[in-house]
Structure 1
Amino acid sequence: MLKFLSAALVLGVCALSPLPTYAQDKKGKWYAGGFLGYGASTSRWTQGAVSTGDFNTDGMIAGLYGGRNWQQNKTVYGIELELAVSEIEGATETNCVGCRTDIDSYGFVKARLGRDTGRGLIYGTLGYGAASVTQMLTGSGHVSDITPGWQVGLGYEAPFQEGWNLRAEAAYLRFGGVSNTLSGPISVDVGGVTLLKLGLTQKF
């Protein structure tokens, strides 16, 4: 449903306003925006020789971003800050009474490099940051921790009127493991997260 509504919004806006080319948009190179998306991953809890095996985690995400672009001919490069809250979570009963992993939020500083195609910008990203992860165990409470991570992404953005861009981005995030003592020393693998995001950007 979210994808359908987003596509309908894009088509509606495009139908109401002429589409400028990316290079014709003379607004400033600073920008800020917001996004909605969906993420999927796996997690695994290990205590000694006992493991839950990989179990699925998934959920919606929402966030804000902002940054600065520079352009030389058709090459566009820049830096961006991305912050998000997350409902990516999942639980298992395999070799564990209610082991649950939640990715609560994350933040990344990303470098962007892209090419102006005329109508829009196709770009790649590489970033470094961290996530807040909560581990819960039935009957033993919960504990939260910060774990570092990195991400790579590929996206496309295009203007629908002067100063406003629509963007779609796919990204892969990888975070380090965390540990807790909810029931003895336990190692928690957060897993690699695949994200799909739709965003709206205003340029200044």
Structure 2
Amino acid sequence: MKTLTTALALALVSSTAFAADAFFPYGSDTPTYNWTFGYLGANIGYGGGKHEVDASIIGTPLRGSISATTNGFIGGAQAGYNWQSGSVVYGIEGDFQYADINAKLAAFTNLFGTGISASASGSLSWLGTLRARIGFVPEDRFFLYATGGAAFGKLGLSGEVNVGGIPYRDEISKTRTGWTLGAGAEYAVTDDWTWKTEYLYTDLGKWTFYEDPVLKAETGLKFHTVRTGMNYRF
């Protein structure tokens, strides 16, 4: 009986060791999470920044610029793919966002004795990015990264400039391209689900939205977004 018990114990120990080696291929005490995978997810967040309008009358710039703080809700979906090499993880991600970021601008100045007032309403209705991501894994399930790439979004702007009682009005909606740069952190909550928090700074450039022999007006939008979301790996 003692011999049989000893044999069973040795068999149990051997099978357990084999299973451990199969599950933990590097002989570690904890499983290794692999960040090489594709994913789909959703996010929600908040955006804000600066909307500017620069204007000139007959080639003479108005003093300063008309500017206002923009802010509002942002939310959407993202998809991408990661590759892991040692502790380094790199990949590509694209996202598309609904945005409700708005600003109202107003200013008044005096040029050659003529009063000039200006007002405008600007909005960002949607936003998309295509970005590279690169970072490292300080722990198996924790990924820190920097990200950057191209950005594009739809800007709407309606405005009026009144020069000595003569109004100049225009309204335009245009898709703009620019760039974005930021950083984030992602954590594997389970083997299939990750949770991320991300910051992005986005610049959609400057463009002329009104120009005639008397008045020229340019606008630009630069803003920050902070968002959080979940990804499902496949």
* TM-score normalized with structure 2 length: 0.71
User: 1-side partners of 2:52 and 2:191: how far apart?
Assistant: 47
- Whether 2:57 is the aligned partner of 1:44: answer no
Structure with greater proportional strand content = 2
User: 1-side partners of 2:205 and 2:118: how far apart?
Assistant: 24
User: 2-side partners of 1:22 and 1:166: how far apart?
Assistant: 19
1:109 to 130, 141, 156: 130
Matched AA of 1:43: H
Gaps of at least 5 residues in structure 2 are: 1-29, 109-116, 161-166
User: 1-side partners of 2:208 and 2:76: how far apart?
Assistant: 27
Matched AA of 1:185: K
1:186 maps to 217
Gaps of at least 5 residues in structure 1 are: 1-20
User: 1-side partners of 2:194 and 2:128: how far apart?
Assistant: 22
2:24 maps to none
1:94 maps to 107
User: 1-side partners of 2:211 and 2:103: how far apart?
Assistant: 17
1:148 to 168, 173, 177: 177
Larger Rg: 2
Q: CA deviation at 1:145?
A: 1.1
Tell me the matched-pair count: 182
Contact 1:61/1:84 (CA < 8 Å) preserved in 2? yes
The CA deviation string for residues 150-182 of structure 1, in whole angstroms up to 9 with x for no partner, is 111110010112210000011111111122238
Q: SS state of the match for residue 90, structure 1? A: strand
2:149 maps to 127
RMSD in angstroms over aligned alpha carbons?
2.3
Higher RCO (CA < 8 A, seq sep 6+): 1
Contact 1:22/1:116 (CA < 8 Å) preserved in 2? no
Identity between Structure 1 and Structure 2 (%): 22
Q: SS state of the match for residue 69, structure 1? A: strand
2:164 maps to none
Q: CA deviation at 1:25?
A: 5.7
User: 2-side partners of 1:22 and 1:178: how far apart?
Assistant: 52
Cα 1:35–1:85 shift into 2, 3 Å: same
Matched AA of 2:201: Y
- Whether 2:205 is the aligned partner of 1:162: answer no
Cα 1:171–1:147 shift into 2, 3 Å: same
Contact 1:145/1:178 (CA < 8 Å) preserved in 2? no
User: 2-side partners of 1:107 and 1:22: how far apart?
Assistant: 36
Contact 1:22/1:159 (CA < 8 Å) preserved in 2? no
Stretches (4+) displaced over 6 A: none
Contact 2:99/2:125 (CA < 8 Å) preserved in 1? yes
Contact 1:147/1:175 (CA < 8 Å) preserved in 2? yes
2:226 to 181, 192, 196: 196
Q: SS state of the match for residue 171, structure 2? A: strand
* TM-score normalized with structure 1 length: 0.81
